[in-house]
Amino acid sequence: MSEITSSIPLQINPDLQEERDKASFNVTELTHIIYGGIEKTKKRKRLEKLLFSDPFFQEYQNVRAFGSRSEYYAASVKKSTKIFKLRRQHKWTDEEYETVLDICHDDLALTLHHTMFIPALERLATEDQKSKWLTLAKQYKIIGTYAQTELGHGTYLQGLETTATYDPQTREFVMNTPTLSAMKWWPGSLGKSSNHALVLATLIISGKKYGMHPFLVQLRSMDDHKVLPGVRVGDIGAKMGGNSVDNGYLILDNVRIPRNNMLMKNAQVSPDGKFVTRGPSKANYATMMLIRVQICTMAYQVVSSGATIGIRYSAVRRQSKLDPQDREPKILEYQTQQYKIFPGLAMSYAFLFASRSLTRKYEEAFAEIQRGDFKSLPELHCLSSGLKSFCSEHSVRQVEIIRQSCGGHGYLNAAGLGMLVNAAAPMITVEGENTVMYLQLARYILKRFAGAMSGQQLDGSTSYLSMDPATYVCPVMSETDCRNLTALCDIYRYRSYMTVCRVARQVQHDMESDMPQHVAINKNLVDLVRAAKAHSYYIVVKDFVEGVDALVASAPVIKVLRTLCCFYAAHGIAEYSGDFLESEAVGLHQLKWIKNLQVSLLGEIRPDAVALVDAFDYHDITLSSALGCYDGNAYERLFKSTENDPMNKEEVHPSYYQYLKPFMEEMNKSKL
């Protein structure tokens, strides 16, 4: 009788325990730093316990893995409503609620209600409108979404075709979808869940267009959820990931809404049809900016989850031989394995500090904007556009590398990595496609560079563009200098300066050669994106260095974070060495030293790798990975996961009787 069972051992896998025993620092201390203090960590733990003591959250994982699209959506609606009810029952603050959403770590069917609908009402509605709709939305008496993108246009907002035509007779707006390409297409939670939508449409008064504005439109009956007259709405179909969300389409046919359903904080239409604006026209883009900032935090969560799975699994998986006399080593011992996974580990901490710094800047600027002071809006727009693109691009790519590093098992849904990559992939597209957002940053950088050239003193993230490049000497004079974080940061800064300078001069030269501006810009788009990427890389490295420098922590924690920071910076220079050489931020000698350092740091990080991911303190249900579980019993958990596979329900699958049996009978009878 075989001894093989799918029961999970109670003890931690000794291979993982061994890793934890040799950590050079206190993991709990680092966890507190990550979550913003001991109280916050404790609160998160309490919330985790409360949520996951409900068996539903475990069952949900099975539906997610094995259910049909419709079952998965239904379970996710259930999950959303459970969380909403718990929020009310326990009177969670906004911060506690955000923590719960982080713990849940995956798309809720009603996600748009809290990620965009409520924030949009908060930012775009007048106080009167807020007291009506925001209150209803926060009490879940209405469920809404943010319907901006159309089949024909997502990026180019000036191209949106949905119209809101003011009728002064009835004091209503008439909402219309004039063409196929004008139908709303993509908004999350639109297809089946929402009964209201914030529809972004072109305002028309007396035949004149006044740009894009937000209109609150009821889509479904509050009695039976049936679609209202003039509204056509549905789900747009299965996607690569995020299939718990009903991204939808919406067609409006002469749907009339009261005048007061236009959100009028930034622009108003008076009863007799007069249009008045307050603040800059881009104030209506405020919700997008918020989510761009949040995507940086999501990118941190994505890459740190991937790193946790990859590192824990690599510490319990043994394969092949290093020392012919010894047993098979943990795959984490292979330098190549470290080279695949440790960049994701270092990136996690880099993005933690960068997203924290960006969030702080956003909050400061938002407070100013609330007071009617918009001066920091352009800087914030460009910083958030660049970092949103940089963090999403790098995190998704890195998690895919980690998935590959887990060999065959990484390809299983039970590993959690494929689902993570597919769920995270849209971060690259949503809230502004990355290339387009990099170009927004590049446009800003070019203007600032031109300002610096004409003697303006710059401040904010681009202040370095007023540097005198002639004074630059590579600050790495010897191999030991390579560990100097400020020196590494200076190298990034100079690379960015030179990349910006080169493209700015090229654009200027092209324009001086009588090329129309749009032709000159398009001819240099690739280099403009390069400049935006170089700038964003510099900002992330700078935030990491400054974040570690400012940390109040024990010496071992500071030491390990400095090592990671050094590795992150050195790795980037090694990976993009062509750019760094071309810009003469480093010479060949420096590059060689930095590459040596990059590889030798792998060995320094190795003993602390497991502890560094343990510090993220992800709950097993949050990670949802047989390979990345805290106890390291990966094989048992993989085998256990097959029990829930509906394919294994019957000893003989019904398809046998339907197809295989008759086929085999026919084959057996055949004389050929």
Ligand X SMILES: Cc1cc2nc3c(=O)[nH]c(=O)nc-3n(C[C@H](O)[C@H](O)[C@H](O)COP(=O)(O)OP(=O)(O)OC[C@H]3O[C@@H](n4cnc5c(N)ncnc54)[C@H](O)[C@@H]3O)c2cc1C
Ligand Y SMILES: CCCCC/C=C\C/C=C\C/C=C\C/C=C\CCCC(=O)SCCNC(=O)CCNC(=O)[C@H](O)C(C)(C)COP(=O)(O)OP(=O)(O)OC[C@H]1O[C@@H](n2cnc3c(N)ncnc32)[C@H](O)[C@@H]1OP(=O)(O)O
Residues that bind ligand X (CB under 6 A): 112, 146-149, 153-155, 186-188, 242, 247, 426, 429-433, 435-436, 439
Q: Is 266 an interacting residue with respect to ligand Y (CB under 6 A)?
A: no
The nearer residue to ligand X, 211 or 273, going by C-beta atoms, is 211
Segment near ligand Y (CB under 6 A); pick from 73-81, 143-151, 270-278, 312-320:
143-151
Long-range contacts from 571-576, C-beta under 8 angstroms, 24+ separation:
571/343, 571/346, 571/598, 572/492, 572/537, 572/541, 573/488, 573/491, 573/492, 573/598, 574/598, 576/537
Instruction: Give the DSSP H or E segment for 176.
Output: strand 172-176
Q: Does 288 bind ligand Y (CB under 6 A)?
A: yes
- C-alpha–C-alpha distance, residues 671 and 666, integer Å: 10
Which 391-410 residues touch ligand Y, going by CB under 6 A?
none
CB of 662 to ligand X, least distance (A): 43
- Of 432 and 547, the one with the shorter C-beta distance to ligand X is 432
Residue nearest to ligand X (CB): 154
Binding of residue 443 to ligand Y (CB under 6 A): yes
624 makes contact with ligand Y (CB under 6 A):
no
How many other CB atoms are there within 10 angstroms of residue 335's CB atom? 11
What is the DSSP secondary structure assignment for residue 44, as one 8-state letter? Answer: H
Distance in Å, CB of 152 to ligand X, minimum: 8
**Closest distance to ligand Y from the beta carbon of 433 (Å):** 7
- Cβ 346 to ligand Y, closest distance in Å? 18
Q: Which of residues 418-437 bind ligand Y (CB under 6 A)?
A: 420, 423-424, 426-427, 430-432, 436
CA neighbor of 198 nearest in space, from 256, 292, 107, 124 = 124
Nearest distance from residue 160's CB to ligand X, in Å? 10
298 binds ligand Y (CB under 6 A): yes
Tokens (6 digits) for 614: 């343990």
Name the token pair of 527: 């280099």
Q: If you search the block for the tokens 């020196």, which residue do you land on?
A: 487
Mapping DSSP to helix (H, G, I), strand (E, B) and coil, where does residue 229 land? Answer: coil
> Going along 471-582, which residue ranges are E strands?
none
Q: How far is the CB of 104 from ligand X (least distance, A)?
A: 17
Partners of 256 in the β-ladder: 174
Is 432 in a helix, a strand, or coil? coil
Nearer to ligand Y, 25 or 57 (CB): 57
Of 310 and 432, nearer to ligand X (C-beta) is 432
Token pair of 162 as six digits: 């949905």
In this chain, which stretch among 20-28, 51-59, 283-291, 585-593 interacts with ligand Y, using CB under 6 A?
283-291
**Minimum CB distance to ligand X smaller for 148 or for 305:** 148
- 3-state SS class at 554: coil
Name the one range near ligand Y by CB under 6 A: 150-158, 267-275, 489-497, 575-583: 150-158
> Could you say which of 431, 575, 582, 604 is catalytic?
431
d(CA 404, CA 542): 30
Q: Which one of ligand Y, ligand X, none interacts with residue 302, CB within 5 to 8 A by kind?
A: ligand Y
Tokens of 613: 């991911």
The residue count for binding ligand Y (CB under 6 A) is 36
Residues 75-134 that bind ligand Y (CB under 6 A): 105, 115-116
Residue 435's binding partner among ligand X, ligand Y, none (Cβ under 5 to 8 angstroms by kind) is ligand X
Phi, psi of 196 (to 5 degrees): -135, 155
196 lies in the binding site for ligand Y (CB under 6 A):
no
- Contact flag: residue 501 with ligand Y (CB under 6 A): no
Cα 615 to Cα 43: distance, rounded to the nearest angstrom: 16
What residues numbered 299-358 form the site for ligand Y, per CB under 6 A? 301-302, 305
Binding-site residue set = 149, 188
Nearer to ligand Y, 148 or 163 (CB): 148
Q: Is 372 exposed, middle or buried (0-12, 13-18, 19+ CB in 10 A)?
A: exposed
Which residue lies nearer to ligand X by CB, 440 or 633?
440
Annotated catalytic residue 651:
no
DSSP conformation class of 331: G
Which residue in the set 35, 57, 73, 146 belongs to the binding site for ligand Y (CB under 6 A)?
146
Among residues 16, 250, 264, 291, the one that binds ligand Y under rule CB under 6 A: 291
Q: Which residues are annotated as a binding site for FAD?
A: 149, 188
Dihedral, 600, 603, 605, 606 alpha carbons, nearest 10: 160
Closest approach, Cβ 428 to ligand Y, in A, equals 9
Task: Pick out residues in 37-76 that bind ligand Y (CB under 6 A).
Answer: none
d(CA 446, CA 452): 10
User: Number of helices (H) and strands (E), helices first, in the chain?
Assistant: 26, 11
Comparing CB distances to ligand X, the nearer of 440 and 624 is 440
Crossing angle (nearest 10°) for helices 286-316 and 417-424: 160
- The window from 146-154, 312-320, 459-467, 509-517 that contacts ligand Y (CB under 6 A) reads 146-154
Asked if residues 488 and 516 have their Cβ atoms less than 8 Å apart, the reply is no
Are the CB atoms for 544 and 350 separated by under 8 Å?
yes
Identify residue 191 by its one-letter amino acid code: G
Between helices 38-52 and 69-90, what is the axis angle to 10°?
Answer: 130
CB of 460 to ligand Y, least distance (A): 14
Per CB under 6 A, does 440 bind ligand Y?
Answer: yes
- Short-list 253, 277, 265, 144, CA closest to 205: 277
442 is an interface residue for ligand Y by CB under 6 A: no
String of b and e for 480-491 (b: at least 16 CB within 10 Å)?
Answer: ebbbebebbbbb
Q: Which residues are bridge partners to 249 per DSSP?
A: 185, 234
Residue 156's nearest CA partner among 425, 444, 432, 434 is 432
Our CB check for ligand Y shows the closer of 318 and 443 to be 443
Tell the smallest beta-carbon distance from residue 607 to ligand X (Å): 40
- Taking the complex as a whole, the smallest distance from the CB of residue 583 to ligand X amounts, in Å, to 24
Among 33, 120, 157, 488, binds ligand Y (CB under 6 A): 157
State the binding partner of 289 from ligand X, ligand Y, none, CB within 5 to 8 A by kind. Answer: ligand Y
Q: Which of ligand Y, ligand X, none has residue 301 at its interface (CB below 5 to 8 Å by kind)?
A: ligand Y
Ordered alpha helix ranges (H), 105-241: 111-112, 118-124, 127-129, 135-138
Q: Which is nearer to ligand X, 436 or 621 (CB)?
A: 436
Pick from ligand X, ligand Y, none: which does 247 bind, CB < 5 to 8 A by kind? ligand X
User: Using the rule CB under 6 A, is 267 a contact of ligand Y?
Assistant: no
CA angle 34, 39, 42 (to 5 degrees): 85
206: left (phi over 0), alpha (psi -120 to 50) or beta: left
Residue 423's binding partner out of ligand X, ligand Y, none, with CB under 5 to 8 Å set by partner kind: ligand Y
When asked if residue 378 is in the footprint of ligand Y (CB under 6 A), the reply is yes
Active site residues: 431
Contacts with ligand Y by CB under 6 A lie at 105, 115-116, 146, 148-149, 154-158, 188, 282, 285, 288-289, 291, 295, 298, 301-302, 305, 377-378, 381, 420, 423-424, 426-427, 430-432, 436, 440, 443
